[in-house]
Chains A and B, each alone.
Chain A
Amino acid sequence: MKPSSVLIGIETEYGLLVEGRGPQDQIQDSADFVRSYPGYCFIGWDYRFESPRADLRGFKLDHLAQDPIDAQFDRPGAPVQTSAEIRSDRVLSNGARFYNDHGHPEYATPECHSLAQLVALDHVGETVLRETAAAFGRPTKVYKNNTDFHGASYGCHESYLAPRELGFDRLFPAILPMLICRQILTGAGKVGSESGGWVDFQISQRADFFAEPANAETLYRRPIFNTRDEAHADPNRFIRLHVISGDANMNPWSTWLKVGLVRLAVALAAVGESPIWRVARPVETFRRISRDRERAYTIDLEGGSHSNAYLVLESYLAAAEKVLDLDQEDQHLIQVSRELLTQLEQRLPGPERKIDWVAKQQLIESALDGEDWRSGYAQSLDLAYCDLDQEAGLFPALEESGAVDPFPFESPRAEGRARARAVAVSRFGAELHTVSWGSLVFAGADLALPPDLPDDPDLINLVTKEEFIQRLISLGAQNRV
């Protein structure tokens, strides 16, 4: 199996700080912010196929848990708006979705097969946020991170389209060890702690927020392995593995590693060749690795034995080399991962050039120069690292100074189903009624687009809506009308 056959995507909820405003204003501010996007976009998201309460284990939750603190931010008597008004969905001309998700502007990349493309499309999202901030007209900070350091977290989620026959029972044990261990290569780093005892610095922004190994929640009592069953495709054929335990990364190499490693694990699960690691106490282990300054990254296994994250990750890399049909990008991913693991374990220079947490830790440590990590200044530096403002952000300064490795960005492009969406909104937007990940609705046509719709670069050259619809049907789209 080729890992690149797994369709992938990233959705990032950004932190939003509007001068003089607070969390009680945040839902309205985020909606207004999204509506300020100055580029071309289509308005008319199709919500028919959303099912956030469906669980991979075969049941549906009555409701999703809410963080009780957030309820205190709600203003009694605030004007009632529809869910669509609050979300303010925009579909961008590259096929991405941009909307307000629980008070956070969220950019969801178009789905694609290439890791380098995904990183490029995620990078476009940063530009979208910067352009929107510039057009918003109010002094605003946008952060690509996952915490406010006061106990509120927001996500950077990944999607991996997998065969339905894998099911929870095969996916969970195959993916969980990877989700716990990959943080040492992909964590964004965080000053302090929002659960348990204080720690000056830890690897993961999200580790403090996990309560269970697996469940369908995302806002409260979050799991390491999210069981939301919302395929955005034919649910009889596909599962969309919805990963919520990763960090939002500033360094594009970290993003590349974050998705590439899980994609290898998904491909191994699909061919039934996953390394077998039965991690004892997964939540505690995730947290312990995040806080391990010794870099031992020990993992206790069921039955009393133990291992470590280096060995677990290497087992996935070795299995992938042995049984998967790897392309050049996969081979490069494996090579880079091994180099970084060696450098981390042997404390050699190098990881700071590709791994966010290492760069952030070194930078803050230097800037503090002996000052107390608890002073608040260290967390302000942490925030500044993730500041998207290219004139103020610390990560952009590291890039400028050559302290991190430049990522070989490709020109971003939509492909397959995403290209059909991009062409629909940018060329036929005036005639389009609604759009979602897997649907396009025109007058007289309700098209279901399969996720494996063949890529057709000629779509942009079609002149009429009728030709466009006909071409999509010939490619495999189904007209439900």
Chain B
Amino acid sequence: MVQFDRQTRPGEPEPERKLGDEGGPNKPDLKKPGAPNELLKRLKKVDPDQVKKYRQRSGQ
């Protein structure tokens, strides 16, 4: 598969701030008993490298 790197190289990081530390709605706790089983199952099935295989042409 021909690959061209069109992405702008990651530049200087913006000020680091851990997501979620701003308060707000609680994130779903996937470890707690009763966490949605189907969701957990699907999360485990996600291929961590899927995004590397995903290249598209520009659309509109």
Q: Which residues of A contact B (CB under 8 A)?
A: 13, 15-17, 20-24, 26-27, 67, 69-70, 72-73, 101-104, 106, 143, 148-155, 157, 193-201, 218-220, 244, 291, 293-295, 343, 347-352, 358, 361-363, 365-367, 369, 373-377, 379-384, 392-394, 397-398, 400-401, 403
Within 8 A of A (CB), among B25-60: 25-31, 36, 38-39, 42-43, 45-60
Contact of A403 among B12, B28, B49, B51 (CB under 8 A): B28
- Taking a contact as CB atoms under 8 Å apart, the answer to whether A376 and B48 are in contact is yes
Q: Inside 8 A of B4's CB, which chain A residues have their CB? A: 69, 72-73
Q: Inside 8 A of A383's CB, which chain B residues have their CB? A: 50-51, 54
- Taking a contact as CB atoms under 8 Å apart, the answer to whether A361 and B19 are in contact is yes
Q: How far is the CA of A102 from the CA of B48 in the complex (A)?
A: 28
A199-B14, A401-B38 are known contacts. Are A194 and B59 too (CB-CB below 8 A)? no
Q: Inside 8 A of A27's CB, which chain B residues have their CB? A: 57
Q: Which of B28, B42, B51, B56 has the most CB of A within 10 A?
A: B56
A199-B14, A347-B22, A403-B36 are known contacts. Are A21 and B58 too (CB-CB below 8 A)? no
Q: Inside 8 A of A150's CB, which chain B residues have their CB? A: 5-7, 54-56
Which residue of chain A lies nearest to B58 when distances are taken between CB atoms in the complex? A67
Q: Inside 8 A of B26's CB, which chain A residues have their CB? A: 349, 362
- Taking a contact as CB atoms under 8 Å apart, the answer to whether A17 and B54 are in contact is yes
- Taking a contact as CB atoms under 8 Å apart, the answer to whether A376 and B22 are in contact is no
Shortest distance from the beta carbon of A439 to any chain B beta carbon, whole Å: 22
Q: How far is the CA of A441 from the CA of B6 in the complex (A)?
A: 44
A197-B13, A392-B45 are known contacts. Are A15 and B54 too (CB-CB below 8 A)? yes
Q: How far is the CA of A200 from the CA of B21 in the complex (A)?
A: 13
- Taking a contact as CB atoms under 8 Å apart, the answer to whether B14 and A197 are in contact is yes
- Taking a contact as CB atoms under 8 Å apart, the answer to whether B59 and A101 are in contact is yes
Q: Which of A101, A201, A379 has the most CB of B within 10 A?
A: A379
Contact of B48 among A151, A291, A380 (CB under 8 A): A380
Q: Is the interface of A mostly helix, strand, loop or mixed?
A: loop
Q: Inside 8 A of B54's CB, which chain A residues have their CB? A: 15, 17, 143, 148-150, 383
Shortest distance from the beta carbon of A301 to any chain B beta carbon, whole Å: 24
- Taking a contact as CB atoms under 8 Å apart, the answer to whether B23 and A347 are in contact is yes
Contact of B51 among A149, A195, A343 (CB under 8 A): A149
A197-B10, A293-B22, A361-B19 are known contacts. Are A380 and B58 too (CB-CB below 8 A)? no
Q: How far is the CA of A393 from the CA of B43 in the complex (A)?
A: 9
Q: How far is the CA of A395 from the CA of B10 in the complex (A)?
A: 28
Known: A149-B7, A219-B60, A384-B50. 14 other contacts (CB 8 A): A73-B4, A102-B57, A149-B54, A154-B60, A155-B59, A197-B11, A197-B14, A349-B25, A366-B28, A369-B31, A380-B49, A394-B42, A400-B36, A401-B36
Shortest distance from the beta carbon of B47 to any chain A beta carbon, whole Å: 6
Q: Which 4 residue pairs of A and B lie closest in terms of their CB atoms, listed nearest first? A: A154-B59, A401-B36, A347-B24, A22-B1
- Taking a contact as CB atoms under 8 Å apart, the answer to whether A365 and B25 are in contact is no
Q: Which of B6, B12, B54 has the most CB of A within 10 A?
A: B54
A24-B2, A349-B26, A361-B19 are known contacts. Are A154 and B53 too (CB-CB below 8 A)? no
Contact of B36 among A143, A343, A397 (CB under 8 A): A397
Q: Which of A153, A198, A349, A351 has the most CB of B within 10 A?
A: A198
- Taking a contact as CB atoms under 8 Å apart, the answer to whether B14 and A365 are in contact is no
Q: Inside 8 A of A363's CB, which chain B residues have their CB? A: 27-28, 39
Which residue of chain B lies nearest to A363 when distances are taken between CB atoms in the complex? B28
8 A-B pairs with C-beta separation under 8 A: A24-B1, A70-B58, A73-B2, A104-B56, A198-B11, A200-B19, A295-B22, A348-B25
A22-B2, A401-B39 are known contacts. Are A154 and B25 too (CB-CB below 8 A)? no
Q: Inside 8 A of A365's CB, which chain B residues have their CB? A: 19-20, 27
Q: Inside 8 A of A295's CB, which chain B residues have their CB? A: 22, 24
Q: Inside 8 A of B24's CB, which chain A residues have their CB? A: 295, 347-348
- Taking a contact as CB atoms under 8 Å apart, the answer to whether B38 and A23 are in contact is no
Q: How far is the CA of A380 from the CA of B20 in the complex (A)?
A: 20
Shortest distance from the beta carbon of A205 to any chain B beta carbon, whole Å: 12
Shortest distance from the beta carbon of A291 to any chain B beta carbon, whole Å: 7
Q: Inside 8 A of B42's CB, which chain A residues have their CB? A: 384, 392-394, 397
Which residue of chain B lies nearest to A218 when distances are taken between CB atoms in the complex? B60
Q: Inside 8 A of B56's CB, which chain A residues have their CB? A: 15-16, 23, 26, 103-104, 148, 150, 152, 154
Q: How far is the CA of A294 from the CA of B19 in the complex (A)?
A: 10
Q: How far is the CA of A220 from the CA of B7 in the complex (A)?
A: 14
Q: Which of A73, A143, A199 has the most CB of B within 10 A?
A: A73
Shortest distance from the beta carbon of A350 to any chain B beta carbon, whole Å: 7
- Taking a contact as CB atoms under 8 Å apart, the answer to whether B58 and A153 are in contact is yes
- Taking a contact as CB atoms under 8 Å apart, the answer to whether A394 and B39 are in contact is yes
Q: Inside 8 A of B49's CB, which chain A residues have their CB? A: 376, 380
Q: Inside 8 A of A397's CB, which chain B residues have their CB? A: 36, 38-39, 42
Q: Which of B12, B24, B48 has the most CB of A within 10 A?
A: B24
- Taking a contact as CB atoms under 8 Å apart, the answer to whether A381 and B19 are in contact is no
